[in-house]
Amino acid sequence: MFLVVTIVQMLQMVIKLYIWVVIIAALISWVRPDPYNPIVQTLYRLTEPIYAYIRRYIPTIIGGIDLAPLIVIFGLQFIELLLSNMLISM
């Protein structure tokens, strides 16, 4: 039981961290960052695969604004809510 709780809490922590990565990457994309900056490259490598997966199934560019980060954040928060409810029910 303790092991399951610990694993769920770690998953929730990873989800929260990834949400912050998505937020930071979205904010940085507004200012035209240097593509050779290692931080920008890391953020791109962490976020672009999931954005590409979402863009394959859902048209995310509306009015020149890419909504893929917003969809990712909502999806991750939904998963985190499911994990929280699973933990509460135990």
Q: List strand residue ranges (DSSP E) for the chain, in order.
A: 61-62, 65-66
CB 51 within 8 A of CB 72: yes
CB 48 within 8 A of CB 42: no
pLDDT digits (tens, 9 = 90+) for 12-58: 999 999 999 999 999 999 998 899 999 999 999 999 999 999 999 99
All structural domains of the chain with their residue ranges: 14-89
Rounded-to-integer distance, Cα 31 and Cα 26, Å: 10
- 51 sits in which H/E element: helix 38-57
CB 19 within 8 A of CB 73: yes
pTM here?
Answer: 0.90
